[in-house]
Structure 1
Amino acid sequence: MAYIAISWTPNSAMVANVNTASDEPTRTRGDIRDTNSNRVPGIGIGRGGGAARFRGEIQKPTDALKTFSRIMGRFGAERRSIVTVFILAAFETIGALSAPRLIGAAVDAMGRGGRGIDGVGGPLVVLQAARLAPFATAVSALALAYIAVGILSFAQAWIIAKVSQRMASDLRTSLFNKLGTLPLTYLDSRPRGDIMSRIANDCDAVGTAISQSAIQLAAGTASVVGALVMMLLLSRQLALVTLASVPLVLMLSRIIAGKTRPYFKRHREALGALNGIIEESASGLDTIRAFGMEDRMEAEFATENSRLREAGARAQIWTGFLMPMLNVINNASFAGIALVGGYLAAKGGLSVGVIASFIAYSRL
């Protein structure tokens, strides 16, 4: 009885040998055995090794600062745009820091320039026409500050969007050109889907991290430092109340980051493995059908898809804990500012406008 025996060479290429007679038992669907080792080979058309081969260990840079400098050095053509974004971010920070102070000035001007009356909702303040100028000036300046912040924010977003896409495009081009110079041994040792994921997904992630995250981190740091300086100038007592929540925020962020980091790593690994299975299954579909490997490919796909789902769900769950906990801490800080500020205002050592400014600064 004739049969086809499939042997697997060191390069994982399938070799078919036709035999006209054998006592080999009849094989069922998906039971394709290696004639040399009497084992069932893993799926991975043209690559061999099954889904486990996708789970290679991710190499970490030995010098993160040097790696970051090397990446930034590739984007020298975007230096002018990045500097422009930093300048816009600096002016936006100045506008954002001036807004709370203007709110306090408007509140104090309203208190100094009006007379109290009893209305439906309790004590109200009616501004006297003769003293309306300070209040109107503060409100007008506040409106201009918010308009300027909005325009600067839009300009930053517009430039960042173009810069990030140009960065990702340049990096993809470089990787694609490098791909043509790599030896075949390198390509044979890695799944095609993983290589595709690096060129497509990882390049976008790097471009976003460099052009958006780094700039936002710098602008956010400037805002926090500026807000701290303004609060210390207004009232040291209220500044201490606000700073009391900072250790809690840092500790919570550290805990959440430590919990989510492994899951995001597993998510990236599972995504690369799943892309590899999909790409190689599509390119080798005729071979899979010819040798009845559909069930095994479906099983491998289901396994990697489950890993991707579980890792993504756990990462999102832990990330979802952060904002509710931060809201609790911010609300506690808000209550502390209101209580201590009210006490100081009752003693005459602090104006209501300063309390309003502090509340606004604590929200930055």
Structure 2
Amino acid sequence: MTQSNANQRGPMGKRAANFGGGRSVEKAKDFKGTMLKLLTYVGQHKIAVFLGVAFAMCSVIFNIVGPKVLGQVTTKLYEGLVAKVSGTGSVDFDWIGRTLLILLGLYLASSACNLIQGWLMTGVTQRICYRMRRQIAEKIAVVPMSYFNGHSKGDVLSRITNDVDTLGQSLNQSITQLITSVTQVIGVLVMMLSISLPLTGVTVLTLPAAAIIMVVMIHFSQPYFREQQQVLGAVNGIIEEDFAGQNVIQVFDRADAAVAEFDEKNDRLFISGWRSQFLSGVMMPLMGLVGNMGYVGVVVVGAQLALTGSATPGDIQSFIQYVRNFTQPVQQLGNVSNTLQSMAAATERVFEFLEAPEEQQAVEAQVPAVRDGRVEFSHVRFGYTPDKTIIHDFTCAAEPGQTVAIVGPTGAGKTTLIKLLQRFYDIDGGSLKVDGVDVRDWDRAELRSQFAMVLQDTWLFSGTIRENIRYGRPDASDAEVEAAARAARCDHFIHTLAGGYDFEINEEGTNLSQGQRQLVTIARAFLADRPALILDEATSNVDTRTEELIQRAMDALMQGRTSFVIAHRLSTIRNANVILVLRDGDIVEKGTHEELLAKGGFYAELYNSQFEEA
């Protein structure tokens, strides 16, 4: 998959995602579509959402009634004081006391409803985040390898962590605020109309100004919210890359270059974050200004109405509270719009990954009845990109039990053949069959279960040595794990470690030497005991003596199994049944070790050059 945005190389030479540039900022591609997709997630919790919305509305209603009741208390107290001063009556404190208790009950009920809706909505949003993270984790296992050629690991991690967190926090705030704000605007409007139509008209006049401010701020801030999420993914990619390769950065004195590249991305993150937050922050003061203008209008008109007797002091006091209650949700709606922008940008990135192309399973996936490891390449043609073919016309057959060695200079296509064999990529032409069935017709999982792999780049996870070896066959017993370790010649060094097989390997296995890590992965392949083997420079990181011991074990392991061996040390493949010599994606020579040496061709040149260099 290619991206429209250019990619840059980081200080480690890897591809680092580069999103946008300068002021050329991209808006959310499909705000409405993204929100509709998100609603399908919310809809799966409709009962909890419905109850949360109901309790939120009840909380607002109880709260809205309060100012009206308080206004009646104010009027009653004012009239009682006036009557007392004139000697015609007194203040009815009993009625005022009962009414204030009712008012207290309303506010307590409002708080209780608000607490319940918060509990319900938090549960909904966290379940949605949990589901999305799980879907992303499952998606990683089914996206084609080509996807990761155009996306840095840090960017994918950012979608799992930052974007999902932003989505969860924003969703929890925005749904509740949206419902309560709309309910409060409608409820307060009704209460204001019940008090005074002229005063309501003055307040409503402020709405167009608030709407204009909100639309303008959304228009200018939305692009920066999206860029902020994108550049954050790029920053995470650089951090992940530089952390993993810190030793190489230090050796080649590239720390300043690494910091400079990080600073460039960090500056863009600062600019986009500052602009988005500043523009969203400006909205609230402007909305407050509009609200204060409404206050002034209500005070002026209310004073005139009070002088003419058209409104009581309690009505004016209630209305002033309602003006605050009216402008506050309008301001909250503006805040919700900012939250929705941030949520839309994050959600869109999550859905972009969830909707990425997946590895295609055959319509009627096949699993051969006889699985003995026969492999046939017939006129295979392949390129990672349409404009650059790497494998031009590759034909080869590996019979069950044969060892096929693949040699050639760097970039000849050796590792690419292995990736095609496991269908990490699909061929562009020709056919590739395993046990007589085209790999495109195989069940993917079953096809890959045919092979055990040992690669030059070791992969170990945090856990014990026993657990890392057992990864090859989870149901293996401890005795089988230890037998595989002995076969791989790593039992001895394991017993020298604290805890032996229960020694804890740290992240990326850095508390083991490179050779020890390689031996553990070889033991894993022994334990897997599969019909076919793929050995890609499996002994490249061990010393000569250990290599010789491992080679003996490999020879025993490869008996009766189809084995593909990629090697640069040509001395390790002398016993291969057939050696394929690749150059620029084509087989230029084919034969046994002795036959190829006798020809005195390219293989002989490669073989002799190794001893000359030594």
Residue of structure 1 equivalent to 2:130: 169
Please state if 1:326 is matched with 2:287.
yes
Residues 61-98 of structure 1, C-alpha deviation per residue, up to 9 Å, x if partnerless? 54x44443332323454222211111101211210110
Residue of structure 2 equivalent to 1:270: 231
Contact in 2 for aligned 1:78/1:163 (Cα 8 Å): yes
User: How far apart, CA to CA, are the structure 2 residues paired with 1:330 and 1:224?
Assistant: 13
Pairing partner for 1:191 from 145, 152, 157 = 152
User: How far apart, CA to CA, are the structure 1 residues paired with 2:136 and 2:63?
Assistant: 40
Residues 1-34 of structure 1, C-alpha deviation per residue, up to 9 Å, x if partnerless? xxxxxxxxxxxxxxxxxxxxxxxxxxxxxxxxxx
Q: What's the % identity of the aligned pairs? A: 29
CA deviation after TM superposition for structure 1 residue 160, in Å: 2.4
Relative to structure 1, is the Cα distance of residues 59 and 176 closer, same or farther in structure 2, using a 3 angstrom cutoff? farther
Residue of structure 2 equivalent to 1:335: 296
Residue of structure 2 equivalent to 1:97: 64
Q: After the TM superposition, which of the residue ranges 322-331 and 179-188 deviates more from structure 2?
A: 322-331
Residues 256-282 of structure 1, C-alpha deviation per residue, up to 9 Å, x if partnerless? 222322332332222111111001111
Amino acid at match of 1:160: M
Please state if 1:68 is matched with 2:68.
no
Contact in 2 for aligned 1:47/1:189 (Cα 8 Å): no
Contact in 2 for aligned 1:96/1:145 (Cα 8 Å): yes
User: How far apart, CA to CA, are the structure 1 residues paired with 2:149 and 2:70?
Assistant: 64
Higher helix share: 1
Instruction: Give SS of 1:363's match.
Output: helix
Contact in 1 for aligned 2:27/2:226 (Cα 8 Å): no
Residue of structure 1 equivalent to 2:79: 112
Residues 44-69 of structure 1, C-alpha deviation per residue, up to 9 Å, x if partnerless? 64633x56x3449868454x444433
User: How far apart, CA to CA, are the structure 1 residues paired with 2:36 and 2:259?
Assistant: 43
Please state if 1:222 is matched with 2:189.
no
Amino acid at match of 2:260: A
User: How far apart, CA to CA, are the structure 2 residues paired with 1:87 and 1:236?
Assistant: 29
CA deviation after TM superposition for structure 1 residue 132, in Å: 2.5
Please state if 1:360 is matched with 2:327.
no
Residues 299-349 of structure 1, C-alpha deviation per residue, up to 9 Å, x if partnerless? 101111111122222333333322222222222211211111111111111
Contact in 1 for aligned 2:27/2:223 (Cα 8 Å): no
CA deviation after TM superposition for structure 1 residue 180, in Å: 0.9
Contact in 1 for aligned 2:27/2:222 (Cα 8 Å): no
User: How far apart, CA to CA, are the structure 2 residues paired with 1:303 and 1:145?
Assistant: 55
User: How far apart, CA to CA, are the structure 2 residues paired with 1:183 and 1:301?
Assistant: 29
Contact in 2 for aligned 1:54/1:194 (Cα 8 Å): no
1:223-302 equivalence runs, <5 A: 223-302=184-263
Instruction: Give SS of 2:111's match.
Output: helix
User: How far apart, CA to CA, are the structure 2 residues paired with 1:94 and 1:299?
Assistant: 56
Residue of structure 2 equivalent to 1:31: none
| TM-score of the two chains, using structure 1 as the length reference | 0.78
Pairing partner for 1:305 from 266, 272, 276 = 266
Residue of structure 2 equivalent to 1:349: 310
Relative to structure 1, is the Cα distance of residues 47 and 58 closer, same or farther in structure 2, using a 3 angstrom cutoff? farther
Higher relative contact order, chain-length normalized (CA < 8 Å, sep 6+): 1
Relative to structure 1, is the Cα distance of residues 153 and 356 closer, same or farther in structure 2, using a 3 angstrom cutoff? same
Q: After the TM superposition, which of the residue ranges 261-270 and 79-88 deviates more from structure 2?
A: 261-270
Residue of structure 2 equivalent to 1:128: 90
Contact in 1 for aligned 2:11/2:249 (Cα 8 Å): no
Relative to structure 1, is the Cα distance of residues 59 and 172 closer, same or farther in structure 2, using a 3 angstrom cutoff? farther
User: How far apart, CA to CA, are the structure 2 residues paired with 1:139 and 1:342?
Assistant: 26
Residue of structure 2 equivalent to 1:22: none
Relative to structure 1, is the Cα distance of residues 210 and 324 closer, same or farther in structure 2, using a 3 angstrom cutoff? closer
User: How far apart, CA to CA, are the structure 2 residues paired with 1:45 and 1:314?
Assistant: 31
Residue of structure 2 equivalent to 1:11: none
User: How far apart, CA to CA, are the structure 2 residues paired with 1:211 and 1:79?
Assistant: 15
CA deviation after TM superposition for structure 1 residue 362, in Å: 1.0
Contact in 1 for aligned 2:221/2:279 (Cα 8 Å): yes
Amino acid at match of 2:145: L
Instruction: Give SS of 1:83's match.
Output: helix
Instruction: Give SS of 1:163's match.
Output: helix
Amino acid at match of 1:90: M
Instruction: Give SS of 1:349's match.
Output: coil
Residue of structure 2 equivalent to 1:83: 50
User: How far apart, CA to CA, are the structure 1 residues paired with 2:45 and 2:58?
Assistant: 20
Residue of structure 2 equivalent to 1:8: none
Pairing partner for 1:137 from 65, 87, 98 = 98
Residues 162-212 of structure 1, C-alpha deviation per residue, up to 9 Å, x if partnerless? 322222111111111111111010011101111111111111222333343
User: How far apart, CA to CA, are the structure 1 residues paired with 2:285 and 2:260?
Assistant: 39
- Return 5+ residue gaps in structure 1 as ranges: 1-40
Contact in 2 for aligned 1:81/1:159 (Cα 8 Å): yes
Amino acid at match of 1:172: R
Cα root mean square deviation, aligned: 2.7
Contact in 2 for aligned 1:241/1:336 (Cα 8 Å): yes
Contact in 2 for aligned 1:43/1:296 (Cα 8 Å): no
Contact in 2 for aligned 1:55/1:273 (Cα 8 Å): no
Amino acid at match of 1:108: T
Residue of structure 1 equivalent to 2:143: 182
User: How far apart, CA to CA, are the structure 1 residues paired with 2:27 and 2:314?
Assistant: 54
User: How far apart, CA to CA, are the structure 2 residues paired with 1:248 and 1:76?
Assistant: 34
Amino acid at match of 1:145: L
Amino acid at match of 2:179: A
Q: After the TM superposition, which of the residue ranges 221-230 and 281-290 deviates more from structure 2?
A: 281-290
| TM-score of the two chains, using structure 2 as the length reference | 0.48
Amino acid at match of 1:216: Q
Instruction: Give SS of 1:114's match.
Output: helix
Residue of structure 2 equivalent to 1:153: 114
CA deviation after TM superposition for structure 1 residue 358, in Å: 1.0
